[in-house]
Amino acid sequence: MNLELSEEQEAVRRLAEDFVAREVAPHAVAWDRAEEVDRAIVKKLGAVGFLGLTVPEEYGGSGGDHLAYCLVTEELGRGDSSVRGIVSVSLGLVAKTVAAWGTEEQKREWLPRLASGEALGCFGLTEPGTGSDAGNLVTRAVRDGDDYRISGTKMFITNGTWAEVVLLFARTNDTPGHKGVSAFLVPTDTPGLTRRAIHGKLGLRGQATAELVLEDVRVPAAAMLGPEGKGFSIAMSALAKGRMSVAAGCVGIAQAALDAAVRYAGEREQFGRPIASYQLVQELISDIAVDVDAARLLTWRVADLIDRGLDFATAASKAKLYASEAAVRAANNALQVFGGYGYIDEYPVGKLLRDARVMTLYEGTSQIQKLIIGRALTGVSAF
């Protein structure tokens, strides 16, 4: 793997850096306090091509490889994880899955709109009773002539109140476990679908997280994505790639923590000297720096494997596991460097820690990543 960025990749990285400096960073604290990112950011992300990365240009995408996608995701995560999550879900979990599994008609209907930001996607897998155990979801889709009628509840859905389409997973037959699950593309304005915003999150406060309730929601059979009964495999393939983008976002958080800690340690004086001159403060900073490098290298390796068409799922779990735990450690170490000032939101590190905390929980908790890695190594499934 070549660790030197190509001219194209470096240009995309710089574009993302400029975008974040102009459109994201100046508003991040206000959006966090208001518990709402300005929705205008979606169109801006689309206009600059970030919602169509890796999607073929014939469907309105902006092309690019997965390393370029990681670079953009890292920069967005450095600026505001709430904005990064909009892209990771609408592009990473929904548009990429439509591109991989959709019929020609589904791709023509959704990809140009998702890539431009005219429409946003959300990913409806988790339910109140099934999080880690997603294969046992209970939302039902019952065939009725040329349609399916879907009923159930989806929990913690990122982009939920904003999205125009939900990639929804529902049980289409009575086979227990994941074999009875199918995937559907459901427009969120379909009668019977209601959304409730979830407030009071510890972090990612600017992000639109929602509960979706479906009561006899009728969709045509053509709304099914991929073959009947393959929904769980589709969800898992989406999440495997999604884990790379969560990991890249975590690298962004850790990098932001490092930048803030180094800057503050040089400015803040105690006992007549900058705190950067104390070895115990340098230890905190060097621990963050090692975490940044290690998390980034694990993440780039996933992008490299995907771009070379190789198996990447276990590498993605390793990257997500390490980078999410590293982001929490890095933000916590940075907060320590800031002392009491780190505890108030005029300084950036408290938000970094709050935003980082969910990364070890969603798209598979750290425990679930360990079980996936353990299964790959031993050949024995623990769940």
Ligand X SMILES: Cc1cc2nc3c(=O)[nH]c(=O)nc-3n(C[C@H](O)[C@H](O)[C@H](O)COP(=O)(O)OP(=O)(O)OC[C@H]3O[C@@H](n4cnc5c(N)ncnc54)[C@H](O)[C@@H]3O)c2cc1C
- Residues forming contacts to ligand X in the complex (CB under 6 A) are 89, 122-126, 131-132, 156-158, 201, 204, 209, 358, 361-363, 365, 367-368, 371, 383
Beta carbon of residue 154, minimum distance to ligand X (angstroms, whole number): 7
Least separation in angstroms between residue 340's CB and ligand X is: 28
DSSP of 340-363? GGGGSTTSTHHHHHHHHHGGGTSS
- What residue number has its CB nearest to ligand X? 131
Between β-strands 147-158 and 140-144, what pairing exists: parallel, antiparallel or unpaired?
antiparallel
**Given the complex with ligand X, which of 296 and 320 has the nearer CB atom?**
320
Q: Minimum distance from CB of 208 to ligand X (Å)?
A: 10
Q: Smaller CB distance to ligand X: residue 67 or 86?
A: 86
Distance CA 151, CA 129 (A): 15
Min dist. Cβ of residue 199 to ligand X (A): 12
Alpha helices (runs of H) in the chain, residue ranges in sequence order: 7-19, 28-34, 40-47, 66-79, 81-87, 96-101, 104-116, 231-267, 279-307, 313-338, 349-357, 366-378
Q: Would residue 346 show up in a list of annotated catalytic residues for this protein? A: no
Nearer to ligand X, 51 or 157 (CB): 157
Rounded to 10°, the helix 279-307/231-267 angle is 150
Please identify, using beta-carbon distances, which residue of 117 and 364 lies nearer to ligand X.
Answer: 364
Q: How far is the CB of 251 from ligand X (least distance, A)?
A: 19
Measure Cα distances from 159 to 12, 65, 123, 131 in Å: 25, 24, 8, 18
**Closest alpha carbon to 90 in 66, 47, 120, 132:** 120
Extract the tokens encoding 347: 């300084």
Indicate the residue type of 100.
A
Q: Please choose, from the candidates 362, 312, 355, the residue with its C-alpha nearest in 3D space to the C-alpha of residue 89.
A: 362
Task: Give the span between the Cα atoms of 125 and 156, in whole angstroms.
Answer: 9
Nearer to ligand X (CB atom), residue 322 or residue 338:
322
Catalytic hit among 74, 109, 211, 363: 363
The answer for 184, left when phi > 0, alpha when psi is -120 to 50, beta otherwise, is beta
Q: What is the 3-state secondary structure (H, E, C) of 1-29?
A: CCCCCCHHHHHHHHHHHHHHHHHHHHHHH
* Cβ nearer to ligand X, comparing 15 with 361: 361
Smallest distance, Å, CB 302 to ligand X?
Answer: 19
What residues are labeled active site? 363
